[in-house]
Structure 1
């Protein structure tokens, strides 16, 4: 798990935006918003948002695992 250090703060608009993205991701993954898996997703969303990723689609993309390396 990554964690970015930031002195930025999140305001009500940021939190509402991130909550909306979290809810969309949870629906797409078929998980409840109050589950431990959703808490990990939320943490990653906040980290990426504070890192500078601000578009919903880009945030969702950052949550996807890296593809496996093709066999050589």
Structure 2
């Protein structure tokens, strides 16, 4: 998704926490393939899971549950 100011974010949806590393790896690989001006505009890389806490991984990927996105 892209905002009106050009920042964008990408999300990967996974059913459980066992697949978080896979999702994060795919997001990071995708971002790293982009040209620098586009890569620099990345606002967030997010792995969405069914449940659990929201946290920021050491690699900068945000992990959150679908329930935390709203009603």
Higher strand share: 2
Same fold (TM over 0.5): no
TM superposition score category, shorter chain reference: 0.3 to 0.5
Higher helix share: 1
State the structure with more CA Rg: 1
Higher relative contact order (CA 8 A, sep 6+): 1
TM-score, L = length of structure 1: 0.32
